Amino acid sequence: MQRAKYPALIVALDGVTDPRNLGAIIRSAAAFGAAGVIMTERRAASMTASAWKSSAGAAARLPIAQVTNLARTIDAAKKEGLFVVGLDGESEDVISSMKVATEAIMIVVGSEGKGLARLTREKCDLVISIPISATTESLNASVATAIALFWVDQARRKG
């Protein structure tokens, strides 16, 4: 069995409701080497035709798991050694504070309107924001995910 070049990278979705965002996140996860995507069964987008189309085929290649309780899934991931990082535009910790080269990471993305649920946020080891211009309120969930995945990919390549 061939070992992965880098530690595990998983994306978890906390209530992402737009199927196009779901598909785009899956596509970005595949593009940047994620091992899979975890999504909640309720109050979240499902794999509709729009999600499949937005994923550009990545949904057929990347493992996607649906879970009933994201908080318990995060706890289990932490027990397996993953460092859990939440994305939140309000966080004072910025993306550059994320240590990525040697750790297995789960990136948790909140819903488009509400962001991370309180319990999900509390379960994260680190919650980060992506610095943006003050003239822009926030980033789209799929765009923020792609930026975070790119950041991890680039940091790991540099070693």
Question: Helix, strand, or coil here: 143?
Answer: helix
Tell me, which fold does domain 9-158 have in CATH?
Alpha/beta knot (3.40.1280)
Give me the tens of pLDDT residue by residue for the chain, a chain 159 residues long. Answer: 334 566 799 999 999 999 999 999 999 999 999 999 999 998 899 889 999 999 999 999 999 999 999 999 999 999 999 999 999 988 887 787 777 667 899 999 999 888 999 999 999 999 998 888 888 888 899 999 999 999 999 888 886
Every domain of the chain and the residues it spans: 9-158
Q: How far apart are CA 138 and CA 133, in angstroms?
A: 9
Q: How far apart are CA 11 and CA 133, in angstroms?
A: 25
Place of tokens 């880098």: 6
CB 92 within 8 A of CB 65: no
The answer, as to whether pTM is greater than 0.85, is yes
Only one residue has tokens 């550059």, namely 96
